[in-house]
Amino acid sequence: MNLKNNMLIQAIVLSLFIVTTSFPVKSQSIDLKKLDKYIKSAQKQWNIPGLAIAIVKNDQVIFSKGYGIKEYGKKDKVTDKSLFAIASNTKAFTAAALSILVDEGKINWDDPVRKYLPYFQLYNPYVSENMTIRDLLCHRAGFATFAGDLVWYGTTYSRKEIIERARYIKPTYGFRAHYGYSNIMFLTAGEIIPAVTGKSWDEFIKEKFFEPLKMNSTNTSIRDFSKNDDIAQPHHVAPGKDPVPINYVNWDNIAPAGAINSCVSDLSNWIRMQLNNGKFEGKQILSEQQIRIMRSPQIMKTLSKWSAETWPSKHFSAYGLGWDLFDYHGRKIINHGGGADGMISKTVLVPEENLGFVILTNSINYLPTALMYYILDDYFNAGEKDWSSVYYGFYTSGIKRENERRTKAEAERNKNSKPSLALQGYTGTYRSDLYGDVDVKLENGKLVVYFVPTPMFVGDLAHWQYNTFSIKLRKIYSLPQGTVNFVLNDKGKVTQMEIDIPNPDFDFTELKLFKIED
């Protein structure tokens, strides 16, 4: 045998080895009947009023269905055309919109933000000058997750005013050193679109995505809802109690980070385009090159020991541009979650398998993430695990820990203590550079707190101990009871107010509120 033939045989053997060992997946199917039954059971377990799901495989919608009701106490059922707030699933649309401008040569991913938004300013001059569009889209500005969210949530501030206030957000990490999820940085990215095109973010998204993808029911604002729309109502669901319908909160001022409302029928087309390398029904919507960039890790996340034990096939977790990334059973998973008032959603892509799905729910729950793992396990023939019950265990454990914390705090407080001042002494206006003014007023013998930029935030105070009062916001079901501590100086006058309302979304402690002298 000559050298040439020997090398040829070795190459053939090597190629056979690669083909037979590179892809560990044993099955490429989903048992839809079993999934349908599982969803019904999980919906009941979580007490979710309604949800919808669509699954795409090989450019075909193989499953699209609504479950339950749009509003508790009414009979209208959820369909695959029912609108839900998709919240942070919006971020992938914003990144995709900017990728079009990159392809058109109007911007570059690594352009400084201030090239387009000269008013953009953060905590440090170097960071302000060097923050790029890419940085905005992958959560590496140095902020803690959700930092500054109280500046936009329910406030009267415009998009520009929110960005201008970002200079008061204190960093937790070094610039580009750590992942910290930031809605305000995504808002900033979205505002580059009108700066470059002269069109609003909303107009651009509709023109580039909703229209060509035939997402005819989808919109970018609850103001676009009509009486004839098929709309799912958000709900608050307390453990052991009936769901309570709540109002939508207008997210127009943070729209590029989370304001899209859509249905699984429309989102199926978005998924089809994503899985088809940017093409939809013969038209190239996004370029393959930019899709590849958006799905490439831009900042790594730390995998904890607990994560490694819970998901042993997961070896990395990262964030791309508008997408979360991780590996699972030998495949790269592109996904993103969304959480709005009384709604949770999930979008999942497995490009190597031409598989994708979206799940929308109208209450706060962990089910969309649980269903993601359930569906992936079924598809990969990786064993049957009741992920809904696993995540429900996480949920109930969290409630138990919070109840224990409250019980301990209640046991330790000095119930016999009294305020240092008459209630009138605590009234006045307290100002935060980041947030704005908070007024404390005496009404009918009780203290009431008014968050001026957020008209829906009105809190009633009750003495707890010393100069600390409990606070409960009126009709805000998603936020628990917290505390307000008044800080006195050496002359016995109040100089500062410290608010702490423990919750996973908003950090009230970052509001450094100092009393304005009368």
Please indicate, yes or no, whether residues 379 and 445 belong to a single structural domain of this protein: no
Assess if residue 132 is contained within a domain: no
Assess if residue 349 is contained within a domain: yes
Question: Which residues does residue 442 pair with via DSSP β-bridges, in sequence order?
Answer: 447
Assess if residue 328 is contained within a domain: yes
What tokens appear for 11 in the block? Answer: 């190459």
Please indicate, yes or no, whether residues 435 and 305 belong to a single structural domain of this protein: no
Q: What is the rounded CA–CA span in Å between residue 460 and residue 186?
A: 33
Please indicate, yes or no, whether residues 278 and 392 belong to a single structural domain of this protein: yes
Please indicate, yes or no, whether residues 305 and 270 belong to a single structural domain of this protein: yes
DSSP conformation class of 209: I
CATH value at residue 478: 2.40.128.600
Please indicate, yes or no, whether residues 296 and 436 belong to a single structural domain of this protein: no
What tokens appear for 195 in the block? Answer: 């700066």
Q: Which of 344, 368, 400 is the last residue of a domain?
A: 400
Assess if residue 360 is contained within a domain: yes
Please indicate, yes or no, whether residues 320 and 454 belong to a single structural domain of this protein: no
What tokens appear for 313 in the block? Answer: 């096939």
Please indicate, yes or no, whether residues 241 and 368 belong to a single structural domain of this protein: yes
Please indicate, yes or no, whether residues 337 and 430 belong to a single structural domain of this protein: no
**Contact present, 193 and 204 (Cβ < 8 Å):** yes
Please indicate, yes or no, whether residues 396 and 506 belong to a single structural domain of this protein: no
Q: What is the rounded CA–CA span in Å between residue 345 and residue 365?
A: 9
Assess if residue 276 is contained within a domain: yes
Q: Which of 342, 367, 400 is the last residue of a domain?
A: 400
DSSP string across 473-490: ETT-TTS--EEEEEEE-T
Q: Which of 385, 400, 415 is the last residue of a domain?
A: 400
Assess if residue 304 is contained within a domain: yes
CATH value at residue 387: 3.40.710.10
Please indicate, yes or no, whether residues 288 and 429 belong to a single structural domain of this protein: no
3-state secondary structure 242-260: CCEECCCCCCHHHHHHHCC
**Contact present, 493 and 132 (Cβ < 8 Å):** no
Domain total of the chain: 2
Give residue 456's domain range: 423-515
Assess if residue 371 is contained within a domain: yes
Q: How many residues does the chain have?
A: 518
Please indicate, yes or no, whether residues 358 and 485 belong to a single structural domain of this protein: no
Q: Is 12 helix (H, G, I), strand (E, B) or coil?
A: helix
Assess if residue 120 is contained within a domain: no
Please indicate, yes or no, whether residues 452 and 363 belong to a single structural domain of this protein: no
Give every CB contact of residue 13 below 8 A, 6+ residues apart in sequence. Answer: none
Predicted model pTM: 0.93
CA of residue 395 relative to chain centroid, distance: 18
Burial class for 62, CB neighbours closer than 10 Å (0-12, 13-18, 19+): middle
Tens of each residue's pLDDT in the chain, 518 residues: 443 344 343 443 334 333 333 334 444 689 999 999 999 999 999 999 999 999 999 999 999 999 999 999 999 999 999 999 999 999 999 999 999 999 999 999 999 999 999 999 999 999 999 999 999 999 999 999 999 999 999 999 999 999 999 999 999 999 999 999 999 999 999 999 999 999 999 999 999 999 999 999 999 999 999 988 899 999 999 999 999 999 999 999 999 999 999 999 999 999 999 999 999 999 999 999 999 999 999 999 999 999 989 999 999 999 999 999 999 999 999 999 999 999 999 999 999 999 999 999 999 999 999 999 999 999 999 999 999 999 999 999 999 999 999 999 999 999 999 999 999 999 999 999 999 999 999 999 999 999 999 999 999 999 999 999 999 999 898 899 999 999 999 999 999 999 999 999 999 999 999 999 86
